Structure 1
C-alpha cells in the first residue's frame, strides 16, 4: 500500500513541490514520518503549521532522499532538472516528474531511472483541487500505476493519458490556466472600478463570483457548452454578453494563448 511507502519530493519547498507535500499530508495518504523533502537551501518555510513537522525528513542531499524513498517526485523548475546530479537504480523504485516539458527519455537519461511517470499538476494540489494527468514509461508496473493513481487522487483528480504529447497539451492547459483566469478576473475588476465601484468591493465580488462559478462548473451534469447554450437560450443579460463575446475575437485569443503555452512546453527543457 502507498501509505506504507516512503515518498520523497525533490524541490519540496518550492511552490508546486510544497503544494503537493501539503496536499498529501492533508489527505492522510502520507504520514509525516514517511515524507522526505529535499531542497538546496534547506528552507523549511511554509511547513511551520504542519502537525508533526518534526517527523518530516528534510535534507539538502537529493541522493540521500532517493536512497531512502520508494517513490520520488521531482518538482523542480524545468531548467534545473538537468542539474540534479542523481542516480536512480531499479531498487530505488518509482520516479514521478511534474517538471514541465521534461520528457521521459530525458528523465531516464539524466537519472538512470527506468520506471518513470511524467505528469503535470499545479499548486491547487495543496487544497486537493489539482488535475494531474500522467503517462508512463514501458517499464512501469501495474503496482506503480496503482500508486500513481492513488497519489494524484489524494491531491485532486487524475487520469492516465495516451502519450507525452498530451502531457504537453495539458501543460498548456493546467499550468497557465490559474493565470489566465486571474487575468480575466482582473479585467472584470478593472471594468467594475471604471464604472465607479469601490476597488475592494469589486475585487471581493469578482473573487466570490469566480469561486461560485468554479463550484457550479465542477458539480454540474451539463457540459460547459451546454451551460453556455442554456444561458443564451434564456435570452437575458448573460445572453447579451455571451453573444457579444462569441462575435468577438475572444475565442481565437484564448486559443492563441494556449497554443503559445503549448509551444513553450515543448522547448522549456530542451537543454540537456
Structure 2
C-alpha cells in the first residue's frame, strides 16, 4: 500500500494544505496523478504547473479514491467534515483535536495527529507527531518521510507533549515576528528612522539568528557573547532580570492551555497519557 499510495488533502486550498501539497510534488514524494485535493470551489490551488492533480468538492469521494487522508482544516471546521475513512491512514493537522476525536469522526483506527506550521511554505516546518496504537511501523516511516518533504519531524508519545509543542512550534514565525516588532518599536522610540529600524530588527531576528544550528549551539553562543562582558552581556542580563524568561513561560503556558482545550467536541479531554497512544 505504501509504495505508491494515493494521497488526499481535505482543505488543500488552505495555506498549510497547499504548502504541503506543493512540497510533496516538488520532492517527487507523490506523483500529480496520485494526489487529490478537496475544497469548496473544486479549483486547483496549485496552478497550471500541477494541472494533473485532481480537485473535488466532495470529501467522501476523496476518501474513497485515496489510501492516505490528510485533514488540514481549522479545528472548528472539522465539525462539518463528514467522512468515513475506515482502513485508511488519517493524518490530522488540526490543533487541539485529539486522536480520539479523529477516530470517532472518521471511523479510522489508524490515525496520526501532527502539528506542522506555516514554515512548511519554505520547507522549514518542524512537525511533531503522535499515533494511535493501530498505526504500523510502515505507516510511521511513511509519515516521517512525508513530513520531511517540508521540514523536519519527531514522533512524540502523549497528547500533552503534542499540545505543548503546538504552543511552542505550531505558532511558526509568530514568536520571532513579535520579537522583531518589539525591537523595531524600541529602535524607533530611540530616534532611528523607521526604515533603518526595520532593517536592523530584521538583521537580528532573521539574519544573525541563522548562526544558531550552523555550528553554534544556543548555549555556546550565549556563553561566548556574555563572556565578553560588553554591550551584548549588558543587554542579555537586563532582559533576563526584567523577566524575559518568565514572559516566555507565561506565553507558552497560555498557548498550551488553549491547545489543550480548543477541540470543538465536548467529550474531548487532554491527558498526559492516553490509552490510544504509544
Q: Normalized against structure 1, the TM-score is what? A: 0.92
Higher helix share: 1
Q: Determine the structure 1 residue equivalent to 2:239.
A: 245
Does structure 1 conserve the Cα–Cα contact (< 8 Å) formed by 2:118 and 2:172? no
Measured in 1, the distance between the counterparts of 2:185 and 2:3 equals: 47
Structure 1 range deviating more: 169-178 or 255-264: 169-178
Cα RMSD after superposing both structures: 1.8
How many residues of Structure 1 are paired with residues of Structure 2 in the alignment? Answer: 266
Q: Greater shift after overlay, 7-16 or 34-43?
A: 34-43
Q: What is the alpha-carbon distance in structure 1 between the residues aligned to residue 64 and residue 26 of structure 2? A: 25
Question: Distance in 2 between the 1:173 and 1:43 partners?
Answer: 34
Equivalent position of 2:132 in the other structure: 137
- Cα deviation, 1:21-58, whole Å, max 9, x if unaligned, reads 1222232222222211111233544x23x62x211111
CA–CA distance in 1 between the matches of 2:102 and 2:243?
40
C-alpha contact (below 8 Å) 2:75/2:264 kept by paired residues: no
CA distance in 1, matches of 2:27, 2:119: 13
Match among 249, 254, 261 for residue 255 of structure 1: 249
Could you say which residue in structure 2 is the equivalent of 1:63?
60
2:26 matched residue in structure 1: 26
Q: 2:197 aligns with which of 174, 198, 202?
A: 202
Q: Distance in 2 between matches of 1:208 and 1:7?
A: 40
Deviation at 1:124, TM superposition (A): 0.8
Partner Cα separation in structure 1 for residue 172 and residue 121 of structure 2? 16
CA distance in 1, matches of 2:194, 2:151: 33
Deviation of the 1:89 alpha carbon: 1.6
CA contact (8 A) 1:3 1:30 kept: no
**Tell me, which stretches of 5 or more residues in structure 1 are unaligned?**
none
**Deviation of the 1:110 alpha carbon:** 0.7
Q: Does 1:119 align with 2:114?
A: yes
- Does 1:78 pair with 2:86? no
